[in-house]
């Protein structure tokens, strides 16, 4: 669409109508012929004041039947101007209709997306509670119900990460984090299980900082549905 803003289209239409009308209508002021033919007396014989008064009197007493103005507008020009204005108005209407159609389509799409999001939230809802055992998280890893809640624990908080199900469902990149306490894996950026030896190594300061970035992201994106029972905050404290 050439002009998407309604105010721009209105201003453009007014401008075009004014520009189109200017050449077709002309008003010329025609002063009496005698006024044009009048020659000023010489300075030697009459003062400038008398000169002005005589000039004014001649114009005032000129034949009143002479037209003072004339209007020139050919019928063909008027018809062309009318066609131009009507055509431009039609174009504006069509252009505006296209804009309305696009807005309607966008509004319908937004309504459809909102409805899908509300339905997904309804299916994935889980009642929050104060504390969760890690064993209680296991059924919610997305394996049994891909439309249901997906829970994971991180830094002592339990998140419902259903909004990112494309990351956490079986076969997806972060499925290893789902249905469990994923604190150490997130902190160490590991997508495979730790060995027994690795589990005995405390998280260093860099790993704890990396975990904090995950928690910041989760809090801004996912719902917190409780805390993890038995979690020791000292293991991740900065």
Number of other CB atoms surrounding residue 211 within 10 Å: 23
Q: Where are the domains of the chain?
A: 6-122, 131-235
Give all strands (DSSP E) within 106-231, no chain letters.
131-132, 151-154, 157-160, 223-228
What is the C-alpha to C-alpha distance for residues 144 and 150, in angstroms, rounded to an integer? 10
* Confidence (pLDDT) at 10: 56
Are the C-beta atoms of 129 and 157 separated by less than 8 Å?
no
* Confidence (pLDDT) at 187: 97
* Confidence (pLDDT) at 192: 96
What is the C-alpha to C-alpha distance for residues 216 and 202, in angstroms, rounded to an integer? 21
Q: What is the pLDDT of residues 105-138, one digit of tens each?
A: 889 889 999 999 899 999 999 999 999 999 999 9
* Confidence (pLDDT) at 29: 41
Its CATH architecture, for the domain 131-235, is: Roll (3.10)
In terms of pLDDT, which residue wins out, 18 or 200?
Answer: 200
Q: What is the pLDDT of residues 1-40, one digit of tens each?
A: 444 556 566 566 666 565 655 554 444 444 444 444 445 5
In terms of pLDDT, which residue wins out, 81 or 49?
Answer: 81
Mean of the pLDDT values across residues 186-215? 96
Residue-averaged pLDDT of the chain = 79
What is the C-alpha to C-alpha distance for residues 94 and 101, in angstroms, rounded to an integer? 10
In terms of pLDDT, which residue wins out, 165 or 25?
Answer: 165
**Whether pLDDT at 151 is above 70:** yes
What is the C-alpha to C-alpha distance for residues 193 and 185, in angstroms, rounded to an integer? 8
CA angle 98, 104, 108 (to 5 degrees): 145
What is the C-alpha to C-alpha distance for residues 26 and 70, in angstroms, rounded to an integer? 8
Are the C-beta atoms of 186 and 177 separated by less than 8 Å?
yes
* Confidence (pLDDT) at 26: 46
Phi-psi region of 122 (alpha: psi -120 to 50; beta: other; left: phi over 0): alpha
Cα dist from 238 to 39, 136, 204, whole Å: 103, 28, 9
């Amino acid at each position: 669409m050439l002009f998407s803003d309604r105010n721009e289209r209105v201003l453009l239409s007014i401008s075009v109508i004014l520009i189109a009308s200017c050449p077709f209508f002309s008003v010329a002021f025609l002063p009496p012929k005698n006024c044009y033919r009048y020659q000023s007396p010489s300075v030697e014989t009459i003062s400038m004041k008398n000169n002005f008064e005589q000039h004014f009197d001649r114009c005032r007493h000129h034949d009143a039947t002479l037209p003072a103005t004339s209007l020139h507008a050919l019928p063909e020009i008027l018809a062309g101007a009318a066609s131009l204005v009507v055509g431009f108005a039609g174009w504006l209407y069509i252009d505006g209709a296209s804009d309305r159609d696009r807005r309607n389509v966008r509004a319908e799409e937004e309504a459809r997306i909102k409805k899908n999001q509300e339905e997904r939230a309804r299916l994935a809802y889980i009642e929050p509670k104060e504390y969760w055992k890690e064993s209680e998280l296991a059924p919610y890893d997305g394996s049994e119900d891909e439309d249901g809640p997906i829970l994971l624990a991180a830094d002592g908080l339990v998140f419902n990460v259903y909004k990112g199900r494309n990351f956490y469902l079986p076969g997806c990149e972060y499925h290893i984090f789902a249905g469990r306490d994923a604190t150490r894996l997130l902190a160490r950026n590991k997508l495979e299980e730790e060995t027994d030896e690795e589990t005995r190594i405390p998280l260093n300061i860099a790993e704890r900082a990396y975990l904090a970035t995950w928690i910041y992201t989760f809090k801004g994106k996912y719902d917190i549905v409780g805390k993890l029972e038995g979690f020791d905050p000292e293991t991740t404290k900065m």
